């Protein structure tokens, strides 16, 4: 399955003078307001990311080198590993919340949203799927935003609109920018739902998805829900099988984090957002290339919770080549890193609460700082003829990944039953998935370095879908 990428918009200039670094890093403390109609973000917050990334890279590299030079460096790393290890143990034994089994009272109105661009291969199947969900027909609507498609997508949508009463189509005009975020923001005022469900064009949604997810919003402080993503074409090759294991460990870790009161994260496809919560943090951010990860932080910063559920799952097509995977994962990594650069001051001010802040910082250390520190750590280890000083933390991270992947894959298989051979299959999938996951080390380390020295245009991307099925 090929993957294409298209540039949409250039929203800021990262080539400002370096002497404005301190001015750029000072952000007004009161950008978060109590009123739900006030956005979290201001335009200046999303400027100067290259300078912030350069400063962060300098701190991480110089700090890693310093650990090799001071006498207590190894003790510091061991202490950090112990703290993270205890956190990992608590995470593993946490019990996920039991979901509400049915809706109490009236069914809330749901607006199902899809931003589509050149999706003629999947749009017919998607619309038929979404317009036939098990939910009161007068309580949900389906909006497809045609983002300036140049193929047969507009014609197909026009035909489908004649068949389904709950289908609405919005055609974006030429010149409309903002990528997926812009499309969702444009359709938002036209929607009626108290809950907004966002899917990708290649989504394969279980018919009872709404009936299983919407009851969760009976928790008043729940701002969003992310369902597990599954790979529809998982058996195609090594890369899709790896993505299948990756989605399993991701869903497992996210569910365990939310069980502890930590950070639940949105993943774009299969995300449900309360309208009130979305309005409270300013809608979808058009100044980021990963709208889901950015929205994750802004929801938590405005004191909303995000829940992550393992079942039901939404299926999507996995990319099938190393090149397509490289482009996709680099975008994810850059967008994930951007949010720390954009909201670092609010995170450190503990606006989310101690438990969430600690959880976020712990996983930031594992996901971004550790891979970034790997290069200077290895170089200093070679120069001093000693093992890398961060080896204990690296070992813990690998152990967490392997254990989480096995547990996640087992949780996926739980509904199908277990045999003796099942455990050998899970072990094989875990080993293969662990090998596949090594690409993240290269992606993370190269991205954090590149963002520090090379300006990059803000660019939204899409993957071309071919209608692959399970």
- pLDDT tens over the chain, length 470 residues: 333 333 333 333 333 332 333 333 333 333 333 333 344 444 577 888 888 999 999 999 999 999 999 999 999 999 999 999 999 999 999 988 776 677 878 899 999 999 999 899 899 999 999 999 999 999 999 999 998 888 899 999 999 999 999 999 999 887 777 888 999 999 999 999 999 999 999 999 999 999 999 999 999 999 999 999 999 999 999 999 999 999 999 999 999 999 999 999 999 899 999 999 999 998 999 888 889 999 999 999 999 999 999 989 999 999 999 999 998 898 899 989 999 999 999 999 999 999 999 999 999 999 999 999 999 999 999 999 999 999 999 999 999 999 999 999 999 987 666 777 888 999 999 999 999 999 998 998 888 888 887 755 545 455 656 665 55
Residues 50 and 171 in one domain: no
Strands 140-146 and 110-116 come out as parallel
Structure tokens at 425: 């299959």
Cα 409 from Cα 430, distance rounded (Å): 8
* Domain assignment present for 206: yes
Is residue 85 domain-shared with residue 176, that is, in the same domain?
no
Which CA distances in Å does 406 have to 62, 174, 308, 320, 430? 36, 47, 18, 23, 6
**What CA–CA distance (Å, rounded) separates 36 from 188?**
16
Tens digit of pLDDT for each residue in 118-144?
899 899 999 999 999 999 999 999 999
133 lies in the same domain as 47: no
Q: Tell whether 200 and 289 lie within a shared domain.
A: yes
Whether 427 and 310 map to the same domain: the answer is no
Both 171 and 277 in a single domain?
Answer: yes
Q: Tally the domains of the chain.
A: 2
What is the rounded CA–CA span in Å between residue 176 and residue 9?
A: 9
Q: For the CA atoms of the chain, what is the radius of gyration?
A: 22
Asked whether residue 136 is domain-assigned, the answer is yes
143 and 78 in a common domain? no
Tell whether 21 is covered by a domain.
no
* Position 103 in a domain: no
Q: What angle do CA 453, 454, 455 make, to 5 degrees?
A: 125
CATH no. for residue 221? 3.90.550.10
Q: Which of 331, 359, 391 is the last residue of a domain?
A: 331
Could you tell me the residue range of the domain that residue 202 belongs to?
Answer: 110-243+263-331
**How far is it, in rounded angstroms, from Cα 402 to Cα 347?**
29
Residues 322 and 360 in one domain: no
Say whether both 37 and 130 belong to one domain: no
For residue 17, how many other CB atoms are within 10 A of its CB? 7
- The end-to-end CA distance of the chain, in Å, is 14
Q: Where are the alpha helices (DSSP H) in 188-286?
A: 209-213, 238-259, 275-280
Q: Are 246 and 404 in contact (CB under 8 A)?
A: no
Specify if 359 maps to a domain: yes
Q: Considering the domain boundaries, does residue 250 fall inside one?
A: no
Together in a domain, 423 and 308: no
**Is 125 inside any structural domain?**
yes
Task: Looking at the structure, tell me whether residues 206 and 69 fall in a common domain.
Answer: no
Is residue 251 one of the residues assigned to a domain?
no
Q: How far is the CA of 197 from the CAs of 131, 193, 201, 309, 411, in angstroms? A: 13, 9, 13, 14, 24
């Amino acid at each position: 399955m090929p993957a294409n990428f298209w540039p949409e918009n250039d929203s800021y200039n990262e080539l400002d003078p370096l002497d404005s670094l301190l001015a750029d890093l000072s952000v007004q403390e009161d950008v978060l307001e109590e009123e739900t109609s006030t956005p979290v973000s201001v335009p200046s917050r999303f400027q100067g990311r290259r300078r912030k990334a350069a400063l962060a890279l300098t701190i991480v590299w110089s700090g890693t080198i310093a650990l090799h030079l001071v006498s207590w460096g190894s003790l510091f790393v061991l202490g950090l590993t112990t703290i993270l290890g205890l956190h990992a143990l608590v995470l593993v034994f946490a019990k996920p919340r039991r979901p509400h089994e049915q809706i109490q009272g009236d069914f809330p109105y749901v607006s199902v949203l899809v931003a589509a661009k050149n999706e003629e291969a999947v749009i017919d199947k998607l619309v038929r799927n979404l317009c036939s969900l098990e939910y009161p027909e007068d309580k949900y609507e389906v909006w497809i935003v045609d983002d300036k498609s140049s193929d047969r997508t507009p014609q197909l949508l026009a035909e489908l609109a004649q068949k389904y009463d709950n289908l609405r189509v919005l055609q974006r005009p030429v010149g409309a920018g903002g990528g997926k975020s812009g499309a969702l923001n444009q359709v938002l005022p036209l929607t009626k739902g108290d809950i907004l469900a966002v899917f990708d064009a290649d989504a394969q949604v279980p018919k009872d998805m709404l009936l299983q997810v919407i009851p969760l919003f009976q928790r008043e402080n729940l701002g969003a829900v992310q369902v597990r993503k599954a790979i529809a074409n998982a058996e195609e090759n090594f890369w899709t099988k790896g993505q299948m294991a990756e989605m399993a460990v991701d869903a497992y870790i996210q569910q365990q984090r939310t069980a502890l009161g930590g950070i639940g994260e949105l993943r774009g496809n299969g995300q449900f957002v309360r309208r009130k919560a979305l309005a409270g943090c300013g809608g979808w951010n058009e100044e980021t290339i990963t709208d889901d990860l950015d929205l994750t932080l802004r929801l938590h910063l405005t004191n909303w919770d995000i829940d992550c559920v393992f079942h039901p799952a939404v299926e999507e097509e996995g990319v099938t080549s190393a090149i397509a995977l490289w482009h996709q994962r680099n975008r994810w990594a850059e967008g994930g890193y951007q949010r720390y650069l954009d909201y670092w001051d609010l995170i450190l001010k503990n606006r989310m609460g101690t438990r969430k802040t600690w959880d976020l910082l712990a996983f930031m250390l594992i996901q971004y700082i550790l891979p970034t520190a790997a290069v200077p750590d290895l170089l200093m280890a070679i120069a001093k003829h000693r093992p890398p000083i961060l080896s204990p933390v690296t070992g813990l991270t690998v152990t967490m990944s392997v254990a989480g992947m096995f547990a996640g894959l087992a949780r996926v298989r739980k509904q199908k039953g277990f045999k003796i051979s099942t455990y050998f299959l899970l072990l094989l999938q875990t080993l293969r998935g662990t090998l596949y996951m090594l690409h993240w080390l290269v992606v993370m380390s190269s991205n954090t370095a590149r963002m520090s020295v090379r300006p990059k245009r803000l660019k939204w991307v899409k993957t071309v879908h071919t209608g692959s099925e399970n």
